[in-house]
Amino acid sequence: MNTFATSPLFRPVAWAAMGLCAALLAGCAPGARSLAQPDAAALPSQWPADSPVGYGSAALPDWSALVLDPSLTRLQQQALAHNHDLRLALLRVEEARAAHGIQRADRFPTLGVGSSHGRARVPGDLNVSGRPVIGSDHEVFVGLSSWELDLWGRVRSLDQAALQQFLATEAGARATRLSLLGQVARSYLALREIDERLQLARSTVETRAETLRIFTRRYEVGSTSKYALTQVQSLHHQALSLAVSLEQARAPIAHALAQMTGQDMAQLPPAPRAARIFGEVPAGLPSTLLQARPDIVAAEHQLQAAHAQVAAARAAFFPRIALTGSWGTASAQLDGLFESGSKAWSFAPSISLPIFDGGRRSANLDLASARQHSAVVAYEQRVQTAFREVADALAARHSLAQQTQVQQDNLKALQERARLAQLRYDNGASPYLDVLDAQRDLLTAAQQAVQVHYALQTAQVSLYTALGGAPQTAADAAAAPSSTAPVTANATH
């Protein structure tokens, strides 16, 4: 602590006015430029010309308006409450929030209250009087510790960079949430698809097992050939093999869904065959909707953080001015601290400017500039990737909608063919080989129809997530393990 001095020229009001003027200068000084939203030049103004979505200003509905299956809704809520990836993302938001608070505190002076008390003996040979002296020193003070006058905006730019990093982390958590909900929906659709195909396969196994029993009996009595019996056995074994392979394919999907939701997926509630689980994404969505996509918002904030880091690196070339001071009372006697004439103060402004640092500041500016250019490229790449993902999802939805109709027509034709082949065989007009071929083709077509049906719904989920989803609802926020408070800070301070 600096030695306190008293002076008749000292006036507390004058000292406070000096600090106020310094603060005003710091607030009016040029710092980091206001950062506008980046120009998404890479974002086309319209979707592809063959897109069935159309152009307009429709809003994207929430998950609850598009999910038609209560089981999927429940699984998504459980995923929001129990998924570890989402919990880690939310914890990273809290970490970034605290880091911004630490950096923001540097913009304000640090005031402290303290006191010191000491007693010392000075030997006689060190005293003018030649006699030892025992003295006391008592101080009570309010101090200002090394407050930097941010005349060039260095501290303000660092605060801006920390704020943008926090906002980027928060947008990243929303992207994680959207990705989680989309992955739960896709996995659930995949599980429903396999369950429905497995149900078809098991039903076919039962039917062909009965046919095999009949043909085995016929072969035993000599009414059919062994060749026909082996054909029926082959068809039965094919159905068995399909059922086993589907059971094997179901296991990893069920395990992944259980990990995401914390729920056992061994048995799902029955659902109507070919039921719609995910609704239609509305038409008339503008391409500017992608600007609210969480990963694009995160990339935008990362870009603005890089801008602020460049401003802070540039401000480091200017002198740093800091204020240190204190005001209080001092006395040689403890009971004289608050008597008249005991006031003491100190004021110690400092200015520093490195003359030679081996190129450290220049290299730091070059590094910040390089990171800024990288952030620009990353932002443009993220926008282009998002538009491509939407275009791919639109194309997939369009083609799968056509395939669904074609598969349904083909399935009806093959069902009629199998019925006629069985009728012709019963009347002795054709061999059983025709029946076997018809049944084999019918099972394949039924499996493909189920696959295309669920692929179309999966394309709807992919389109919805590629568009960025809807904002988080109050129900989703309540289901989340740790919701972050809304950000009220402005983009610029």
3-class DSSP string for the chain = CCCCECCCCCCHHHHHHHHHHHHHHHHHCCCCCCCCCCCCCCCCCCCCCCCCCCCCCCCCCCHHHHECCHHHHHHHHHHHHHCHHHHHHHHHHHHHHHHHHHHHHCCCCCEEEEEEEEEEEECHHHCCCCCCEEEEEEEEEEEEEEEEECCCCHHHHHHHHHHHHHHHHHHHHHHHHHHHHHHHHHHHHHHHHHHHHHHHHHHHHHHHHHHHHHHHHHHHHCCCCHHHHHHHHHHHHHHHHHHHHHHHHHHHHHHHHHHHHCCCCCCCCCCCCCCCCECCCCCCCCHHHHHHCHHHHHHHHHHHHHHHHHHHHHHCCCCEEEEEEEEEEEECCHHHCCCCCCEEEEECCEEECCCCCCCHHHHHHHHHHHHHHHHHHHHHHHHHHHHHHHHHHHHHHHHHHHHHHHHHHHHHHHHHHHHHHHHHHHCCCCCHHHHHHHHHHHHHHHHHHHHHHHHHHHHHHHHHHHCCCCCCCHHHHHHCCCCCCCCCCCCCC
Query: What per-residue confidence (pLDDT) applies to 481?
Result: 52
pTM: 0.77
Residues paired with 137 in a beta bridge: 118
* Model pLDDT for residues 268-280, shown as the tens digit of each residue: 666 666 678 888 8
Query: What per-residue confidence (pLDDT) applies to 163?
Result: 94
Report percent pLDDT > 90 for the chain: 31
Residue type for 458, please? T
Kindly give, in sequence order, each residue whose CB lies less than 8 Å from that of residue 447, ignoring residues fewer than 6 positions away: 197, 200, 201, 242
Query: What per-residue confidence (pLDDT) applies to 440?
Result: 87
pLDDT band at 6 (very low <50, low <70, confident <90, very high): very low
Decide if 326 contacts 115 (C-beta within 8 A).
Answer: no
Pick the residue with more confidence: 14 or 120? 120
Residues 294-314, mean pLDDT to the nearest whole number: 93
Rounded Cα gap, residues 434 and 334, in angstroms: 114
* Model pLDDT for residues 52-71, shown as the tens digit of each residue: 444 445 577 888 888 888 88
Q: Is 226 exposed, middle or buried (0-12, 13-18, 19+ CB in 10 A)?
A: exposed
Query: What per-residue confidence (pLDDT) applies to 124?
Result: 76
Residues 430-442, mean pLDDT to the nearest whole number: 85
Nearest-10 Cα torsion for 378, 384, 385, 391: 170
> Computed from CA positions of residues 159, 160, 164, 165, in that sequence, does the dihedral angle turn out positive or negative?
negative
Residues paired with 278 in a beta bridge: 67
446 pLDDT higher than 70: yes
pLDDT band at 95 (very low <50, low <70, confident <90, very high): very high
14 pLDDT higher than 80: no
Domains and CATH numbers, the chain: 1-30+113-149+323-352 (2.20.200.10), 37-107+150-318+360-479 (1.20.1600.10)
Flag the least confident range among 52-56, 106-110, 252-256.
52-56
Pairing of strands 350-352, 133-149: unpaired
Per-residue tokens: 245:
């392979």
Top-confidence range, 71-75, 151-155, 254-258, 372-376: 372-376
Query: What per-residue confidence (pLDDT) applies to 449?
Result: 92
Residues paired with 134 in a beta bridge: 121
Decide if 310 contacts 372 (C-beta within 8 A).
Answer: yes
* Model pLDDT for residues 130-143, shown as the tens digit of each residue: 788 887 777 777 87
320 pLDDT higher than 70: yes
Query: What per-residue confidence (pLDDT) applies to 45?
Result: 57
Q: Average per-residue pLDDT in the chain? A: 80
> Computed from CA positions of residues 413, 418, 419, 423, in that sequence, does the dihedral angle turn out positive or negative?
positive
Query: What per-residue confidence (pLDDT) applies to 338?
Result: 74
Query: What per-residue confidence (pLDDT) applies to 134?
Result: 81
pLDDT band at 324 (very low <50, low <70, confident <90, very high): confident
Residues 469-478, mean pLDDT to the nearest whole number: 56
Q: CA triplet 404, 410, 412: central angle to 5 degrees?
A: 105
Query: What per-residue confidence (pLDDT) applies to 457?
Result: 92
Pick the residue with more confidence: 371 or 149? 371
460 pLDDT higher than 70: yes
Query: What per-residue confidence (pLDDT) applies to 98?
Result: 93
Decide if 63 contacts 470 (C-beta within 8 A).
Answer: yes
Decide if 283 contacts 54 (C-beta within 8 A).
Answer: yes
Rounded Cα gap, residues 133 and 137, in angstroms: 13
* Model pLDDT for residues 358-399, shown as the tens digit of each residue: 898 999 999 999 999 999 999 999 988 988 898 899 889 889
Residues 230-235, mean pLDDT to the nearest whole number: 88
Query: What per-residue confidence (pLDDT) applies to 252?
Result: 92
Report percent pLDDT > 70 for the chain: 81
Decide if 253 contacts 194 (C-beta within 8 A).
Answer: yes
107 pLDDT higher than 50: yes
Residues 426-446, mean pLDDT to the nearest whole number: 86
Query: What per-residue confidence (pLDDT) applies to 485?
Result: 40
16 pLDDT higher than 90: no
